[in-house]
C-alpha cells in the first residue's frame, strides 16, 4: 500500500480509478489490481494440527457456506478487525452465543461482499462440538482444520485442485474501502460481540 494513501484508494480527484478489491497491487496510476489465485489447495503441516490452505479464484463466502455444511452445528464466530476505520476499535470479536447453521447463512449473506472485498479483517467459523475450523484471512485464503477428508470432497466438487504449495504474492497491498465503513459498523452491531485484544498472529 502506498504510504501517502493509507486507505489504499485512489488519490483525491481520481475516484474513477478506484476499484474495490481486497488485496493485490497498486500501479503507478493508483489503479488497484486484484490478485486472483488459480483455484487450488495444498495440505500443510503445522506445529499443531495439519490443515488445508485453499486459494479459490472467487466465491470465497459461497465456499465457506458449502464447507460449513460438513461441520456440526452450532458454530462460534470470530471476526478479527485488524485495520478499523472510523470510531471502531481493532480486536477479536467473538460471537456471544452459539450460532445455528441458518444464522450463519444469514450472516454471510448479509456481510459476504464486505468480507470478500475489503482487507481490514479475518473471519473464523468453528464447530462447537468438533475440531472443525475454517479461517478466512485477509490474503483471500481459507484455512481448514479438523475433518480434512470431508473438506477435500467439497473442493473436488468445486473443481479446486490440489497442488504442492500455495504461495502468497510478494509484494502485495491490502485495500480498505470507505464504501464498506457502514458494513463494518453494522457487522459490529449484529451481535453483542465479546471483544478481546488482537494477538501477535493477527
DSSP 44-71: E--SSS-EEEEE-SS-HHHHHHHHHTTS
Query: Is 144 domain-assigned?
Result: yes
Mean pLDDT of 134-153: 97
Query: Is 69 domain-assigned?
Result: yes
Query: Is 130 domain-assigned?
Result: yes
Query: Is 41 domain-assigned?
Result: yes
Query: Is 19 domain-assigned?
Result: no
The H-or-E segment that residue 109 falls in is helix 101-117
Q: All 3 cell numbers of residue 91?
A: 480486536
Q: What is the span of the domain harbouring residue 104?
A: 35-196
What is the structure's pLDDT at 84? Answer: 97
Q: Does 3 have pLDDT greater than 70?
A: no
Q: Which of 120, 147, 160, 149 is nearest to 136 (CA)?
A: 120
Q: How far are the Cα atoms of 36, 143, 164, 181 from residue 121, in angstroms, in the given order?
A: 18, 15, 27, 12
Q: What confidence tier does 86 reach under pLDDT thresholds 50, 70, 90? A: very high
Query: Is 2 domain-assigned?
Result: no
Helices (H) and strands (E) in the chain, counts: 4, 12
% of the chain residues with pLDDT over 90 = 77
Q: What confidence tier does 9 reach under pLDDT thresholds 50, 70, 90? A: very low
Q: All 3 cell numbers of residue 63?
A: 465456499
pLDDT digits (tens, 9 = 90+) for 24-48: 877 776 677 888 999 999 999 988 8
Please state, in angstroms and rounded to a whole number, the distance separating the CA atoms of residues 167 and 55.
9
Q: Does residue 5 have a cis peptide bond before it, meaning omega lies within 30 degrees of 0?
A: no
What is the structure's pLDDT at 30? Answer: 67
% of the chain residues with pLDDT over 70 = 90
Mean pLDDT of 102-115: 97
Query: Is 10 domain-assigned?
Result: no
Mean pLDDT of 181-185: 97
What is the structure's pLDDT at 192? Answer: 97
The H-or-E segment that residue 101 falls in is helix 101-117
Q: Number of folded domains in the chain?
A: 1
Query: Is 80 domain-assigned?
Result: yes
Q: At 116, give phi and psi (nearest 5°).
A: -85, -25
Amino acid at each position: 500500500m502506498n504510504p501517502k494513501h493509507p486507505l489504499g484508494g485512489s488519490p483525491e480527484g481520481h475516484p474513477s480509478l478506484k476499484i474495490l478489491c481486497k488485496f493485490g497491487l497498486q500501479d503507478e496510476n493508483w489503479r488497484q489490481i486484484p490478485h486472483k489465485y488459480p483455484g487450488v489447495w495444498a495440505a500443510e503441516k503445522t506445529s499443531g494440527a495439519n490443515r488445508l490452505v485453499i486459494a479459490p479464484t472467487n466465491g470465497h463466502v459461497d465456499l465457506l457456506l458449502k464447507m460449513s455444511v460438513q461441520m456440526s452445528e452450532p458454530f462460534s464466530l470470530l471476526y478479527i478487525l485488524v485495520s478499523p476505520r472510523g470510531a471502531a476499535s481493532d480486536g477479536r470479536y467473538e460471537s456471544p452465543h452459539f450460532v445455528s447453521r441458518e444464522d450463519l447463512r444469514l450472516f454471510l449473506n448479509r456481510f459476504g461482499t464486505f468480507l470478500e472485498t475489503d482487507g481490514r479483517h479475518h473471519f473464523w467459523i468453528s464447530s462447537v462440538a468438533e475440531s472443525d475450523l475454517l479461517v478466512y484471512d485477509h490474503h483471500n485464503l481459507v484455512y481448514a482444520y479438523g475433518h480434512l477428508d470431508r473438506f477435500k470432497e467439497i473442493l473436488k466438487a468445486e473443481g479446486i485442485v490440489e497442488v504442492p504449495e500455495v504461495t502468497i504474492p510478494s509484494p502485495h497491498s491490502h485495500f480498505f474501502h470507505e464504501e464498506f465503513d457502514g458494513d463494518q459498523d453494522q457487522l459490529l452491531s449484529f451481535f453483542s460481540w465479546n471483544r478481546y485484544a488482537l494477538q501477535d498472529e493477527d
